[in-house]
Structure 1
Amino acid sequence: MLRLSNINTFYGPSQVLQDVSLEVNKGEIVCLLGANAAGKTTTMKTIFGLVRARSGSIIFNDRDITRKATDAIVSSGLALVPEGRRVFSRMTVLENLEMGAYTRKSKAEFKSDLEHVCEIFPRIKERLKQVAGTMSGGEQQMLAMARALLSRPSMVCMDEPSMGLSPLMVETVFETILRIREEGKTIFLVEQNASMALKLADRGYVLQTGKIVLSDTAKNLLTNDLVRQAYLGGA
């Protein structure tokens, strides 16, 4: 469904991604693991055209999106839950959700989908008129996920969804990710919380200093010595 082939991405003269290749198949949860500054967020930004790959290709649903504009990529069925939530803090919850549906034309469909995401995220339903910036970090994460779903994506890409959240809220976020998958969405997940991500995912990749150094089933990665030492505390 999504395939990156030999992606090389730079910030000015500095190369961040080096021949990154990975794929996500329909219906999977695939995670990308790595330490800070490994290039995980740059990978996500490159997929969405926020940073341009200098070479390589990105194929989504058999279409080359390597040079497409970000709005065209979103319209093709990819949605992003960005690192740090990035909600519109001065807008209401409902206005944030409407921004998620900006590529949509049918008001009736939006209303139906809004009701559905409010079922998935009950706290969102209670706070539609609340200013988003006054919500807790966990509530803002739920809003960011709900906003992404309102573009009606076939694949949802999530960048560090557990960052800065309490352990209880992290559990809630990962339970919600499973529910989203059960509703037919494919999920590409960038995470530092390797233990939680690998328990959730079907497969995973490990990124170190801009290079993919491991790829395997999530079950195998959980028992891999390198992963255990680097990301699971040797547990």
Structure 2
Amino acid sequence: MTLRLDVEADGDEDSTDARRRERSRARQREAAAVKRSRAELRGGHARQSGQEQAAREHRAALVTMVLTLGILIAAVAVTGGLIANSMRNRPVALASPLQIFPVMQTSPGACPAGTQGVSGQTTTGLVCYQLTQGMSIRKVSDLRVQRGRTGGAYDVAVTLRPSDRKAFAQLTRTTVGRDVAFVIGNRLITAPRVEMAITDGKVVITGTPDHASATRLVRDLKGH
């Protein structure tokens, strides 16, 4: 009896120890699983944080690139504007001095020898333009063809330099209603009529029949 009871008691103790060990291993597995879960969670947070950081850096790079491009475009536009403005303000040098004379009177035919004047061809034939004292211009601020006020017409616009405007204003004040002769060398280029005193240096020569004629007049005024 006693021996049999002792054997049964030893079996209970072994079973208890086994259960304890199993519970211990289970707790260890649970602890390991919790540790892995936390590690994975931290890794996920780290990856998400890294992705967010990369996205922020990408957005910042895009913003920087856009700003840089905008600044570059603005710089190019400003530089182009300065260059264009500089070119517009650059004086136009004439190949030969352009002389502008008030016309005292005209007479048919070529000018007689010794006459202070210049002969020019008109629609009615050769005409002598008798001249009085005028002025000479070597450069202008601008000289170009432009659209006329009437349909299909073209004008020639001449902008005088500030240094020549006062003398030209005085010349046109005394010749309103009369012709002035634009002469290069001994050649009459054109003889437009003065409609009003021109005090701002902006001269518009009208009456050219087409764009080709206006372009040719510009070339002649430049002395080419």
Taking structure 2 as the reference length, what is the TM-score of the superposition? 0.22
**Structure number with higher helix proportion:** 2
Greater Rg over alpha carbons, structure: 2
Taking structure 1 as the reference length, what is the TM-score of the superposition? 0.22
